[in-house]
């Protein structure tokens, strides 16, 4: 009897010990991360964006989508510090200085002014830029193939896009002899693109007339100042001007002046044509670079600067009549992917 009782007590003790060990393992053992280790890998990423407008917002959305597809997800294994300068140069510099002292795994700068402020201040942390027209002219890197240092990224400009758009204008709008450009000449990328456009137009005997602005609130007045002086409007990837594109669209429609832009998003909003690409895709490309840096150990110094290579003419045919434009078959035939790039 005593022997049976002793065996029963021993078995009970063993079962309790096993159960206790099982509970402890479930409570204290760390979960495995995406890399199969015992600790879940986590990241701190800061984004500096110069201003909110469709192209830059789409760029950021593309970046976030690529990060997510790469297993880097906000509020899961990624802490995001998003900063927007609202096109204010003082805010922009303050953000750059702030990110200098923050311990991030990666800093992403969207638009040339943001990239310049970040690169000036952040010297150790890897930096990626997006929506930058000319990284060399902006002094972000010295070489597009071998950036060196802690900075790399993607340019949103292929000079061929501007050249192709000006050829399209000269071919299909023979009455256009003067094009009005609303421009912030304090923005380096806008100046670079305006020079490319001016040279291309000169080959076709078309004059470029500029109306300068210093902030978005001046865009409407600048557009109105060109009425009666020009036969068409054009804008570059100029952040303050793109932010005020609605004012140009309204002025252009009211006066039956064709409006050409340098970005797809402004065409989707109401400009007539551009040669370009989707900024979401541009951002996605930068997001893939971010994943390579954070998860695959790639160094910005060894990652070449990329540029858009899938250019196409993009037409918004549904607004054409409001500008006094008759869309011809010849225009449509220049669009390589009509299903996606003719907006109707």
Q: Which domain holds residue 54?
A: 43-156+279-302
190 φ, ψ (degrees, to nearest 5): -65, -40
Q: Which residue has the tokens 């000006």?
A: 166
Residue 180: name the closest of 208, 150, 216, 151 by CA: 208
Identify whether 36 is part of a domain. Answer: no
CATH (domain of 290): 3.40.50.2300
Query: Which tokens hold the place of 148?
Result: 């060196």
> 3-class DSSP state for residue 287?
helix
pLDDT tens, position by position, 194-211: 999 999 999 999 999 999
Residue 221 sits in the same domain as residue 317:
yes
Q: Is the dihedral of CA 174, 178, 184, 188 positive or negative?
A: positive
pLDDT at 39: 60
pLDDT tens, position by position, 71-106: 999 999 999 999 999 999 999 999 999 999 889 999
Residue 57 sits in the same domain as residue 205:
no
pLDDT tens, position by position, 262-271: 999 999 999 9
Q: Write out residues in the chain with pLDDT < 50, as ranges.
A: 1-38
Task: Say what the pTM is.
Answer: 0.78
Domain total of the chain:
2
pLDDT tens, position by position, 269-302: 999 999 999 899 999 999 999 999 999 999 999 9
Per the CB < 8 A criterion, the answer to whether 59 and 287 are in contact is no
The DSSP line for 259-271 is EE-SSHHHHHHT-
Residue 210 sits in the same domain as residue 331:
yes
pLDDT at 157: 86
- The side-by-side arrangement of strands in the sheet containing 151-155 is 78-84, 43-49, 106-110, 127-132, 151-155
Residue 255: name the closest of 322, 176, 183 by CA: 322
Q: Which residues contact 103 (CB under 8 A, 6 or more apart)?
A: 44
Residue 194 sits in the same domain as residue 67:
no
Computed over every residue of the chain, the mean pLDDT equals: 90
């Amino acid at each position: 009897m005593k022997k049976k009782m002793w065996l029963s007590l021993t078995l009970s003790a063993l079962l309790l010990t096993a159960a206790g060990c099982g509970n402890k393992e479930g409570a204290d053992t760390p979960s495995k991360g995406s890399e199969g280790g015992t600790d879940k890998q986590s990241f701190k990423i800061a984004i500096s964006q110069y201003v909110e407008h469709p192209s830059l917002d789409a760029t950021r959305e593309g970046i976030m989508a690529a990060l997510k597809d790469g297993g880097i997800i906000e509020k899961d294994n990624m802490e995001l510090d998003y900063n927007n300068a609202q096109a204010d140069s003082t805010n922009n510099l303050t953000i750059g200085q702030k990110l200098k002292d923050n311990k991030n795994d990666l800093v992403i700068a969207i638009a040339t002014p943001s990239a310049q402020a970040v690169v000036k201040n952040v010297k150790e942390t890897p930096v990626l830029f997006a929506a930058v027209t000319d990284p060399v002219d902006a002094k972000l890197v010295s070489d597009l193939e071998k950036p060196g240092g802690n900075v790399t990224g993607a340019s949103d400009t292929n000079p061929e896009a501007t050249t192709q758009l000006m050829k399209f204008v000269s071919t299909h709008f023979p009455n256009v002899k003067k094009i009005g450009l609303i421009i912030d000449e304090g923005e380096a990328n806008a100046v670079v693109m305006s020079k490319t456009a001016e040279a291309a137009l000169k080959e076709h005997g078309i004059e470029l007339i500029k109306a300068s602005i210093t902030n978005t609130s001046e865009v409407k007045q600048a557009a109105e100042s060109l009425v009666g002086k020009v036969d068409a409007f054009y804008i570059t990837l100029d952040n303050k001007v793109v932010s005020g594109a609605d004012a140009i669209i309204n002025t252009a429609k009211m006066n039956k002046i064709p409006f050409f832009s340098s970005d797809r998003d402004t065409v989707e909003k109401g400009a007539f044509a551009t040669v370009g690409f989707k900024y979401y895709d541009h951002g996605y490309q930068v997001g893939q670079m971010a994943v390579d840096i954070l998860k695959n150990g790639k160094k910005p110094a060894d990652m070449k600067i990329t540029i858009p290579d899938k250019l196409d003419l993009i037409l918004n045919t549904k607004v054409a009549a409001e500008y006094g434009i008759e869309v011809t078959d010849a225009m449509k035939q220049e669009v390589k992917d009509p299903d996606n790039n003719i907006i109707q």
